[in-house]
Amino acid sequence: MLSSLKRLIIGRPLRTEQLQEEKLPIWKALPILSSDALSSVAYGTEQILHVLAPIGVLALWYSLPISGAIIGLLTLLILSYRQIIHEYPGGGGAYIVSTDNLGWFAGLIAGASLLIDYTLTVAVSVSAGTDAITSAFPVLHNHSTLISVFFVLLLMILNLRGLRESGTIFSFPTYLFILGMLGLVLVGLGNVAVHGIPADVPPVTHTFPVGLTWFLLLRAFSSGCSALTGVEAISNATPAFRKPETKNAARTLALLGLLLAVLFGGTSMLAYLYHITPSPTETVLSQIAEETFGRTLPYYYIQGTTALILILAANTAFAGFPLLASIMAKDKFMPRMFASRGDRLNFSNGIIVLALAAIGLIVAFEGEVERLIPLYAIGVFLSFTLSQTGMVVRRWKQRNPGWMRKLAINAAGAVVSFIVLLIFAVTKFTEGAWIVVLVIPVFIFAFYQVRKHYEAVAEELRIDIATDKPEKKDHVIIIPVGGISRVVRNTIAYAKTIGDDVVAIHVAFTEEDAEKMEKKWEQWNPGVRLVVTRSRFRSVNGPVLRFIDMVQERVGDNLITVLIPEFIPRRWWQRFLHNQSALWLRFLLLLRKDVIVSTVPFHLRK
């Protein structure tokens, strides 16, 4: 029954041969690989305004230079990642690039950051997607956590089924979103061009208004950098492109950079011109769309495609997390279960763990995007820094023709990413970044412990097949019996089958019972010795364990088998009607060395 339910939800198992990758043309790769990056537009501007708006209307103007700086950073990152594409045509995730060039330790830092970030991608994107929905339909606002959890579970199930076959369908939402956002930016700026700048536009200042400090400005900048998350996705997936892979991937990356710059810049500009400030019940993007179109069809189109692309962005983490976990599991840094493919050929354990972790975050932070953001981008920029530093080292080691220019680009990327990382760590530390700063070392410690354990186990289990052969041993069989019945007869028959040295033990609670049992056993004469012990504490397991200890002491290195007679009722609920002492005894015996426990089942027919 359980397995047919599983089949209904997950689908029927696939054969190993069916594992093959579809090669993507640019038009299909762009939407699939860049939904994470593009969707950040939905919350990037809002995060800047969250810092500036409380200071006052005079601070709002600063959102424009900050957005400019972020677009500059974006350009540098795009250039750096194009380098990685050419250098790692097999896919250059931060874990691989760092391990390859900077060693295991750097690789593990990158791995930890990425696993955390994939989880946060799901939590942030799904929460932001839910915000887009509740902005359009305020009546849903109070249920946003529940809606987010529902979406995560939906993504989990879809991914457990395997999503590849529906790849084409998944490219539509991204194009619809791009189209809608370009329309919004054009119509919005066009309106301003035609009707002139609105009257209440926040004034431009060149001195700091009261309350604005460099610290707050940097914090606003680092919050805005959440718009850059996801730009590394294309360079991770180079082998998925149609030939020529590297060229196509590089082109797609450039295209992504251009789109991201236009949409993010346009959104920030419109937010400024419309004098929009963040609200707890409506997103900044929703306010911009409402200001531009009113609550008409185009408004709902923007909200709908925003929600869709955000959910899709979360979906990219459902591809990335399990893949990275499987690579790290193969390197023995993570539990082996992450490396095994499920019925539908995906890494199902990774998918489930990611979903549960994301749900945990959403519930803990009540699905509030601005509270999740401080945890988010720190890992992203940590992995950016490590990748770029790795590339610098690589360039230096190889010194191929033209290496100096390339090294310079990567070095610039590394330095700038590192600076942003520092800004992040400092300005967001008390708001939640400390959690990540704390968790990464814990993860790295865990990775090492896991590897150490696997190596120790492998060492201990290894045998020399030339000399190390299994040998027959002597053994004693012990059967705890509660009385004389078919179950006991059945167990003794089995005991006689597997050995000659068999002894039964009975625990009596009163002297009278003890004598009765001894007498009845003698009459029955099953060909097996019986030892009767007395228990004044009405406990069976204690005396049985003590008897086994005694036997173990006497036989030394010989094997001891404990056969537990057990009858199995026909229906599951009937189990509650019988003492589960057999189960408990087995559990206690499993902790002992050199004792083999076996339950000899007797299946009831009625």
Provide φ and ψ at 88, rounded to 5°.
Answer: -120, 75
For residue 459, the minimal CB distance to its own copies (Å) is 8
Site membership for its own copies, residue 538 (CB under 8 A): yes
Site membership for its own copies, residue 184 (CB under 8 A): no
Site membership for its own copies, residue 195 (CB under 8 A): no
365 half-sphere exposure, CB direction, 13 A CA radius: 25
Site membership for its own copies, residue 486 (CB under 8 A): yes
Q: Which is nearer to its own copies, 210 or 463 (CB)?
A: 463
For residue 106, the minimal CB distance to its own copies (Å) is 24
Q: Which is nearer to its own copies, 157 or 604 (CB)?
A: 604
- Which member of 4, 193, 537, 554 binds its own copies (CB under 8 A)? 537
3-class SS shares of the chain: helix, strand, coil, % to 5 = 70, 5, 25
Distance (Å, rounded) from C-alpha 200 to C-alpha 594?
A: 83
Q: Per-residue x/- marks for its own copies, 398-437, CB under 8 A?
A: ----------------------------------------
Q: Which stretch binds its own copies (CB under 8 A): 150-158, 200-208, 310-318, 566-574?
A: 566-574
Site membership for its own copies, residue 499 (CB under 8 A): yes
Q: Which stretch binds its own copies (CB under 8 A): 135-143, 225-233, 394-402, 519-527?
A: 519-527
- Which member of 142, 461, 554, 557 binds its own copies (CB under 8 A)? 461
Span 330-369, contacts to its own copies by CB under 8 A? 335-337, 340-341, 343
For residue 354, the minimal CB distance to its own copies (Å) is 17
For residue 528, the minimal CB distance to its own copies (Å) is 8
Distance (Å, rounded) from C-alpha 121 to C-alpha 124?
A: 5
DSSP state of 531: E
Site membership for its own copies, residue 15 (CB under 8 A): yes
Site membership for its own copies, residue 5 (CB under 8 A): no
The identity of residue 71, as a single letter, is I
21 half-sphere exposure, CB direction, 13 A CA radius: 9
| Helix-helix angle 541-555:581-590, to 10 degrees | 40
* CA angle 412–416–422, rounded 5-degree value: 150
Distance (Å, rounded) from C-alpha 326 to C-alpha 467?
A: 35
Site membership for its own copies, residue 605 (CB under 8 A): yes
- Which member of 234, 373, 487, 517 binds its own copies (CB under 8 A)? 487
Site membership for its own copies, residue 567 (CB under 8 A): yes
Q: Which is nearer to its own copies, 206 or 603 (CB)?
A: 603
Q: Which residues of 355-390 are buried (b: 16+ CB within 10 A; e: fewer)?
A: bebbbebbeebebebbebbbbbbbbbbbbbbbbbbb
The identity of residue 259, as a single letter, is L
CB 326 within 8 Å of CB 347 = yes
- The closest of 421, 417, 520 to 80, measured between CA atoms, is 417
Please tell me the count of residues contacting its own copies according to CB under 8 A.
Answer: 81
For residue 570, the minimal CB distance to its own copies (Å) is 9
Site membership for its own copies, residue 275 (CB under 8 A): no
